[in-house]
Structure 1
């Protein structure tokens, strides 16, 4: 795998896998085992929002037992966007080359990690895409979730000038040196719209984008955290960014 991606002098790129968790006690340990199978040298950062089911304590035990596991404990549910922003800052501060973000519920199968990393040879952002040939959704994907996902992708492409097909999924790899060029304080989103907004800012710093097909799977345990209120807020934030772009204020 390291032969296919840009290497830093003296060794392969340093990869950080970011997992934002809230009530993922049943998923966390098997997920980390699977990540390590496909990316044995990657460090893993778990950002837990004070999960009442003990996910944070499980993460601490794993960090004690396994190498290169890092844990951030937050006081409560502060939003997916802030968790990923914290991972960006951690990656920049600790001199990682790539930051690979994925959901902690097995909806993003770790078997696609090698393809995401391989794509970083020619790109600054690699997206695990459901909406290009070879990608898709396995299992139940109800009409409401399908409408939210496909609708917000079309909306983001229109208002933010994005050409990528899957702008709402969080299974992605970023070049950390490009993240370091951004003013992360400008990012407004804290929830669902973060995924679209960060692509907008990546575009502003000249990132080259790639997509690789993935199959999105239903979570193995626990319940989904997606809700209509967050989707509505996403539409509003994207609309405001789009107006700013069209008015030349970005």
Structure 2
């Protein structure tokens, strides 16, 4: 099996509603009603903490070794190239970091082998705690990549399905679906480097601020909330970029 590269970046995406919605409280109550009784008595802050889960390593001071290729097109969408698996349901488990990591590797697997395979986020939830991840209590994408490298593989979603809860590690090398030889971090908050990487390498793991209620109420269009901060708490996957109505955007897979 060929070793695959993964690429990760810690960026802040200031991304969706030009001005606060005066009916936001009403929309939030409708969201909770639509998404089940487990959220009924929770605030937007409670739900954000439950449905995100990024844990940036203490003292994380990355030195980027990424070399830009250049020649990025005006728009890119890796879904059109068959490199993006279906959106998953994270459930009440802070495993965003795991879904972000497997998404980047899934694309590299497709580019190397021609096969699009959903990889196991649960494998990372259960087995990478020695690397500083906390399972459903949160984690970080680079720690997930390092586990896959040292473990010499990761299971598929089919062989190690997602349970939305912490479990006992039962990785099985006989059902290994992918490997990873290295990962590369991009310069912090460098959107030009991010565009270059997305265009020339593939989908990229990133971190965003998902604390605003508008993030959970998003349905379509370009998400752009001016209250977005540089305090990131959620791992997602950038699968493309483009421009809509003269507004540049990042195309993001959320889980």
**TM-score normalised by L of structure 1:** 0.25
> Which structure has more RCO (C-alpha within 8 Å, separation ≥ 6)?
2
**Greater helix share, structure number:** 1
Q: Scaled by the length of structure 2, what TM-score is found?
A: 0.25
